Amino acid sequence: MLDDALTGGFDDAPVQSARAFRAALSALSRPGKIETITGGYAPDPVSPAAATLLLTLCDRETPLHLAPGHDGQAVRDWVAFHIGAPLVGPAEAMFALGRWQALMPVTGFPIGTAEYPDRSATLIVELDTLTASGARLTGPGIETAAHLSVPEVRVLRANRALFPLGLDFFFTSETRLAAVPRSTIVEES
């Protein structure tokens, strides 16, 4: 096992995971709001925000899909050591990590069922930059409108059309995090 796999976990797990969970929950409940999230570090190309999310939200019972570009041996070793999440294909994933194009098509991920809409995947999408500009977001948790630099409005609009089924998205860049849950209406600005 590489040294990279042994480092990057929380130094103070109870405190750091609580802070990270609060930031993730805040991002989901206020779509488009950019949060800062730190504490975890994984091998490249995983951002600190994505590593922190994985440490906080995934465990040995959370099937995780690593998209091409993120599915390298160093990242696999890190996941095995720190999280223990089983690595699976898109159709079995509860969480997925990768860049936007590597995660396409999103139709390969579970969207839940009428009886269990919560049995859908959450995608952690790594971006070069994350800013409060671009697409217009409205819906639950947004007072009037928010703006977020999402990669592709068309895919997020199609996802919203599936509601109450569909995927939830976290967007990460360095230590920045924002979310677009399936209930959010996304439009071109």
In tens, the pLDDT along 130-141 reads 999 999 999 999
Q: Are 77 and 9 in contact (CB under 8 A)?
A: no
Query: Sheet of 168-173: strands edge to edge?
Result: 35-36, 176-180, 168-173, 122-126, 95-99, 64-66
- When comparing pLDDT for 16 and 168, which is higher? 168
Pairwise CA distance, residues 76 & 71, whole Å: 7
- Mean pLDDT, to the nearest integer, of 20-25? 95
Residue that is written with structure tokens 């999103």 in the block: 106
Region 25-35: mean pLDDT is: 97
3-class SS of residue 87? strand
Q: How far is residue 68's CA from residue 103's CA, in Å, rounded to a whole number?
A: 8
Q: In whole angstroms, give the CA distance from residue 79 to residue 108.
A: 22
Give the pLDDT of residue 1: 45
Question: Could you read off the pLDDT of 73-130 as tens digits, one per residue?
Answer: 999 999 999 999 999 999 999 999 999 999 999 999 999 999 999 999 999 999 999 9
Read off the pLDDT band of 3 (50, 70, 90): low
pLDDT at 13: 78
Q: Say how far apart CA 60 and CA 42 lie, in whole Å.
A: 17
> Strands 122-126 and 135-138: what pairing?
unpaired
Q: Does domain 3-187 have CATH number 3.40.50.11310?
A: yes
Q: Are 72 and 29 in contact (CB under 8 A)?
A: no
Dig out the tokens for 92 from the structure: 């079995």
Distances 68 to 96, 99, 103 between C-alpha atoms, Å: 11, 8, 8
Distances in Å between the Cα of 55 and the Cα atoms of 89, 125, 188 are: 20, 16, 33
Report the percent of the chain where pLDDT is more than 90.
90
Per-residue pLDDT, 102:
98
